[in-house]
Each structure stands twice: as C-alpha cells, then as structure tokens.
A and B are shown apart, each in its own frame.
Chain A
C-alpha cells in the first residue's frame, strides 16, 4: 500500500504520546516481522503488528487508530519474548489503545452487552476486557 508521509500526515504529538505511554523502544524496530510470526491473532488483524509499529513511527495517527490491530491484541506477550530488539510491543499496543480510550471513546460498551452474555461470562473475562477496552 502507498502511504503518504508529509508534514500534514505526520503527527508528532501522537509519536510523543506513544513514547510517554509505551516507551521509546519502538524506534529500534528493524521490521524483521518476528512479532507478526508469533502473534496468534494476526490472521484477523487489518494490518500486522510489524506494520503498525512502522506506521506509529511515522506518526500516522488516523491510520494507526483506525485499524483493529491494537484492539484484537490479547496482550499475550508472545511478540515481546521473541523480539530480537527486546521491544516491549504489548506496551506499544496498550499505548495505541490508550490514545483512543483517553478521549473517552470506548471500544466496547458494558451497558450494551446482552444480559444473557453477561450471565454466562466469568467475571475474569469482563474485568479484563473492561480494563483494556473501556476508559
């Protein structure tokens, strides 16, 4: 895909926010793709973990926040343990999620989950989900 990187599309604030929340490590990424290879959720992501790190470096906030990648991430840390540069990728994913969540935009609305589903799910699932997907 062609990505336009200009001073109009580069969002320096976004890069700074990711650094604040997720750490500066992601600049070290050499795009080897090991993370994508390790991730069990890749097959359902709009774009792979490797690509989203790359786009984050370029401050492409709308694109990065628009893809479902960070939302499908289950924080399993499979990528982190294999990354040859020891980048804490789960933290980057968390940062991407937090940029949206802190604008008070939830990924899932607790009040919209049906009662049957709420009855069935164990608390551990609900607490974990609300921590990652709601503000």
Chain B
C-alpha cells in the first residue's frame, strides 16, 4: 500500500530522526510513504485573520499538487503541518468566495476544493493499519516502559480539525498499549509548549516546558513522546540546567518496538538524556 507523504521542511533538516523513523516504520508495515514530488513549506501556523488569503496559498498549493498527482489522502507526521494543512483544507471546502479567489490567483496549480483528506499518522495507524495488526508486528514490546504521551495543541485543537475529540483522547493511549508500553495520563498532556514563542520570548518557553516535563515525571513517566519538531525542541532539545525527563518522537519508539535498526530509529539528533536513557534501557536490543 502506498500513501502520499508530506514531511515538512524541518523533517528534512533538524528533525531527520522523525522523518526516517516514520518512513522506515511504515515500510516495515508494508506501507510506502511516497513523498509528494513538488512541495513547499506549509507555513507552520494557519492564518487566523478572516481577510487573509495570502497565507492560505502555501498550504493550499501542496494540497492542490497532491490532488494533481491523483492522491485522495495526504499523510503528515508533524503536528503543526497537520493543523495548517487541515485548516486550509477546511476553508477551501467551506468558503466558496475564498476558494474562488485563491484558485484564480494560483494560476500555476489546478483548481482545488478540498478533495484531498489530511491525515495524521496516529489516525492512519488506527484506521488503515489497526492496533491489532500493529501488535502482531511488534518484535520488541516496550515492557514496563512508562510513556507519557504529549499531544500538545495542534493535533487536537481547534475542534473542527482535531484528530480526535478532546473529551476522549484515546489515540496515543492505544498506540502505546499496542507497542507494549504503559501509557501515563498526566494533566499537562494537552498544554501548549509555547511553540513559536521560543523565538520571541524564550524564557516563557523554558518555564512552560519545564512545567510540562515536571508534570509527566510526577505522574511516573519514564519518557515523554511527541509528534512535533517544535514541541520536541522546546521540551527536549533546549539546554536547561536541571535534569529533565527524556523526550522522543513517537515514531522512534514505534521503530524500536518493530525491531528496526539504530539507523531507522535515528537517535543522534535527540537530546543526550534521551540517547543515554535508551542506550541504557535497550542496550541488548539496539543493534
């Protein structure tokens, strides 16, 4: 089976570990993630201004090209790309006036009215792979590993594009259970890591992120997993003095549980604490 795959800019540079672990995990499950042949940066944040059309162009271009290449779905793993593409998609589906103006402006691409469905990997794993099939594919169940799933904001808010309803968050829990780990529900699981504020107000980022990690730790987690390079940067990669919970991408523990090699799990770009934790805990299986 193959699926149209939209990595996003950061997955090609600073978040290669998220990219590689995604592609190799899917390959192990007999799914080929075919990168969209011509794509540009989606813009990271959806434009919230009602009169703003220009900032819709970037995400819509990608969707229009996916449609041109004959795809009905586009898979993404970066939470922020997911939200941006999904919200732009919704506008193209619902707002006729904006749709017409944008289609007219984008002379270079074909017309688009929201035909392509934006899918996040977690939903894809549940719907197209199934937790049972995933369980069978697992070679190294993460027995005893207490995993705190960090949803962040963009996967579940706003409601109309969230991958699941806010009141019953099950995707991450089911995912962790399927690969043999113990999901740790903690209060800050859906609290914002401060995203782009790390550029303009980095002290706030550090304060908020430390709070989230502390919360996960207090509830007994061994590690925290996320789906977004910005969350991973804010929570895991920024240098803060105290020792904090190690963080990983959920696709990396997926790759580990599927028994893939170190190259596919790709720990080099992770924080030292994450690397050390894994080398210690899984030293027998990491090859």
Contact = CB atoms under 8 A, between A and B. Distances in A.
A117 B196 CA distance: 14
Interface string B49-82: 1111001000000000000000000000010100
B153 interface: yes
B229 A77 contact: no
B204 A128 contact: no
A125 B233 contact: yes
Chain B, interface SS category: loop
B13 A22 contact: no
Interface stretch (A28-36, A54-62, A90-98): A90-98
Interface residues of A, number: 39
Interface in A1-32: 20-23
Interface in B202-226: 204, 208
Interface in B159-194: 159, 166, 190-192, 194
B78 A124 contact: yes
B276 to A, nearest CB: 21
B199 A125 contact: yes
Interface of A: 20-23, 40-41, 44, 71-72, 74-78, 80-81, 88, 90-91, 93-95, 98, 107-108, 113, 117, 121-129, 131-133
Nearest to B80: A124
Contact of B195 (A71, A76, A78): A76
Contacts of A91: 48-50
A41 B9 contact: no
Nearest to A39: B192
Contacts of B204: 41, 44, 72
Question: Which of under 10, 10 to 19, 20 to 34, or 35 or more describes the interface residues of B?
Answer: 35 or more
A77 B13 contact: no
Nearest to B188: A40
* Cβ-closest 5 pairs across A and B: A76-B192, A128-B196, A77-B157, A129-B199, A94-B48
A122 B191 contact: no
Contacts of A128: 44-45, 80, 195-196, 199, 230
A40 B44 contact: no
A25 B243 CA distance: 44
A108 B200 contact: yes
B195 A133 contact: no
B279 interface: no
B90 interface: no
A41 B208 contact: yes
B157 A81 contact: yes
Contacts of B14: 122-123
10 contacts: A41-B204, A78-B190, A80-B157, A94-B49, A107-B200, A122-B230, A124-B228, A125-B195, A125-B199, A131-B44
A1 to B, nearest CB: 24
B41 interface: yes
Given A23-B50, A78-B157, A81-B166, A122 B233 contact: yes
A127 B157 contact: no
Given A72-B204, A124-B229, A127-B41, A90 B48 contact: yes
Contacts of A107: 200
Contacts of B198: 121, 125, 129
Nearest to A95: B49
Given A80-B158, A124-B44, A131-B43, A20 B230 contact: no
Contact of A129 (B78, B157, B196): B196
A68 to B, nearest CB: 9
Nearest to B10: A124
A14 to B, nearest CB: 15
B118 to A, nearest CB: 17
Contacts of B208: 40-41
Contact of A22 (B15, B44, B50): B50
Nearest to A73: B197
Contacts of B44: 124, 127-128, 131
